[in-house]
Structure 1
Amino acid sequence: MFQTVLNAVDVLDLEDEGSAWLRTPPPIGTGVSAVRSQGFLDHTRPNDLPDDQVWDWAGVAGPWAGTYAYLDYADWLRLNHPGMLAMESSLPRLDLTTYGEAVGDLINLYAIVDAGPEDADAACSAIEGESVVLPRIETSLETSALYPPLYFHSEQRLTGHMAQRGFIRGVARVTPDDPPEVRWTIIIRYGGEDRWRMEGVQVGGRGSKRGFFGTWTDAAKELYSPNGPVWFWHL
């Protein structure tokens, strides 16, 4: 538990990004072309796509930016720990309607589409300097066979006092809902360990540059590990 809190302090440490936010274009363009969905009616592999090329049906490849928000951990624990909930009546009232969540650093990444989950092993091994076989990204949620799972990875440069190279891997899947939704799962790794996991749903439909909204949490999902909202958009 103590290590989880230290991890949260490390990764969620705020840093003055200066003009970094100003240089990031919003996920919009002329008209609605930049955010328009590709829809789900046509779900066949393009005939002109080479056999050795992965079909990027979700629009994963390319530059992305994102950020996250979080409560002070003491306040988060107060709202989630059973022992703290039992003491709620004796504590000063915590009003979430006026609570100012902290916003984390701007995260930039460049997603590279993989042929399969094992492709991320070689890319991560090159960063960590030793052979790595990464845990596969699994989910207990139902998925649709309408589109194949789309795997991807990216390198991330972590800044501040944690200046080191991070590694990101993920997968986009389609839910069995009607209409379907694109579900994203991303794991952030640094220091040779999987640290954070993000789960989100595409906003605006398949291929929309509005990206996905969801939640972040500890990769191991330890008891009372922190979590919060996250948003990534395609540049």
Structure 2
Amino acid sequence: MSVLAQRRRARRLARMRVYNLRYLSARRGWGPFHPADEPPQAPVVVATAHNSEQGHDSDGESAEDSSERSGSDMDSESSDQHASDEDSAASDAGSAKEPSSAAPAPAPAPTQPGLPSDAQLYPDWAYLAAIRTIVEANLREAVGPNELNGLLWLDGLRMGSAPMDISEGAPVAADVAEPMVQFGQLKGKERAQSVNLGGPGASKPSVTIPGEGWDWAGVTGVWRRCICWMDYRDLVLHNLSSQFDETSLQEAVRIVPMRLRVASYSPSSVAAYPDRPTIHFEGETAGTSANNQVRKVRGSVSVIADGSVKWAIKLEDSSLNWVSIGVQIGGPTTAMGVLGIWTGASHERVEPLGPFWAWKVG
């Protein structure tokens, strides 16, 4: 297959996974996580009998060849599950059929019935990879591949690679989100000025933040968030048909600015990470409509069972509330940013959904 054909196939399979209306559930914490009652198993290592001199098993097949063939079979099985219209929860369970002695210890009971605690959540990396595939493909079409170098830079996976606000205090409440600008529109001096929280020479007053903690996730600052969605009728139709053909499917793509600041802290949600308290933040963002109406956002950043960083962003509107839940790729303060899924805050069965990618710019 050509590179273009591979990208088209990967995009179609990613859409089938991400836009699956059956995926999100309370068992997953309404985010890109494995079901709390089905934590991911450690990889199963199958021991094969082999001749110590020749390195072959009883059927004459080398252990290396057997391992390679098994991996290929697993990839094929994963692709078949990926392309089916079955509940994705069954797909997750299918990847961990064999028991393992190295399975994680049971997590604490959930704080609310039916809703798992952060200590019970593990990232669904296959789903997160599908989110990235979709958003990256949409951005390539919307702004061009050259504008994506910063997001695709592998050093962006390093902790501390994102811009950090190390000044004392936080932006005052009067600060509001700047008007929406397209990715890559500002350059040089204009871009530097656009991410200055207080303006040239502006001083920031000290703000008392409730709770004990520190901004270990680098929340405070200016962000960009790319959100994607398809027409709701297409979403339902493609879920029924399982087609998701690129030629007949159109997605909307918007890049909106966010300005966030720490509002308070609370103790870590996972006992193993006491140095990472839960960060509660607030801020502003531009809307996706033509008038770019400024809207309030609030949310939290916390650590989950394996140490990954979970983001929960709630956008408050006069008529509708939307929630975005994601995982920071590479760990806290990485330039790669946060990948996740957005949907209605009420989590009704008919709620639309779509992928998002957020990254810090200042």
Question: Which structure 2 residues correspond to residues 32-111 of structure 1 after superposition, within 5 A?
Answer: 32=155, 35-37=157-159, 54-80=213-239, 85=240, 88=241, 94-96=243-245, 100-111=249-260
Separation of aligned partners in 2, 1:55 and 1:209 = 19
Instruction: Kindly name which structure, 1 or 2, has the bigger radius of gyration based on alpha carbons.
Output: 2
Unpaired segments ≥5 residues, structure 1: 1-17, 39-49, 118-141
Q: Percent identity?
A: 28
The CA distance in 1 between the partners of 2:309 and 2:245, in whole Å, is 30
Distance 1:114 1:24, change over 3 A: farther
**Shift of the alpha carbon at 1:216?**
0.5
Superimposed CA distance per residue, residues 78-131 of structure 1 (whole angstroms, 9 cap, x where no aligned partner): 244xxxx4xx4xxxx7244666441322110111011259xxxxxxxxxxxxxx
RMSD: 3.4
Distance of 2:215 and 2:299 partners within structure 1: 13
2:200 corresponds to which residue? none
Picking from 158, 173, 176, the partner of 2:287 is 158
**Greater mean deviation of Cα atoms: 145-154 or 166-175:** 145-154
1:26 is aligned, of 125, 139, 150, to 150
Distance 1:100 1:79 in 2: 9
Deviation, 1:194, is 5.1
The answer for the alignment partner of 2:332 in structure 1 is 206
Judged with a 3 Å threshold, the aligned counterparts in structure 2 of structure 1 residues 162 and 25 are, in CA distance, closer, same or farther, namely farther
From the two aligned structures, give the one with the greater strand fraction. Answer: 1
Q: Distance in 2 between matches of 1:76 and 1:28?
A: 28
Alignment map for 1:104-143 (pairs within 5 Å): 104-116=253-265, 143=269
1:215 aligns with 2:341: yes
Instruction: Indicate conservation of the 8 Å contact 1:155/1:168, yes or no.
Output: yes
More helix by share: 2
Structure 2 residue ranges without an equivalent (≥5)? 1-141, 161-205
Q: 1:186 aligns with which of 309, 313, 316?
A: 313
Secondary structure of 2:331's match? Answer: coil
Change (3 A) 1:101 1:149: farther
Distance 1:143 1:100, change over 3 A: farther
Equivalent position SS for 1:166: strand
Amino acid at match of 1:62: G
Asked whether the equivalents of residues 159 and 333 of structure 2 are also in contact (C-alpha less than 8 Å), the reply is: yes
Inter-partner Cα distance in structure 2 for 1:166 and 1:25: 30
Distance between the aligned counterparts of 2:343 and 2:280, measured in 1?
20
1:174 equivalent to 2:303? Answer: yes
2:361 paired with 1:232? no
Give the corresponding residue for 1:11. Answer: none
1:190 and 1:23 map into 2 onto residues whose CA distance is 31
Q: TM-score when scaled to structure 1? A: 0.59
User: Do 1:187 and 1:194's aligned partners in 2 also have CA atoms closer than 8 Å?
Assistant: no
Say whether the 8 Å CA contact 1:156–1:167 is kept in structure 2. Answer: yes
Q: Is the contact between residue 67 and residue 103 of structure 1 (CA under 8 Å) also seen in structure 2?
A: no
Q: Which amino acid aligns with 2:158?
A: R
More contact order relative to length (CA 8 Å, sep ≥ 6)? 1
User: Given the two structures, how large is their TM-score scaled by the length of structure 2?
Assistant: 0.40
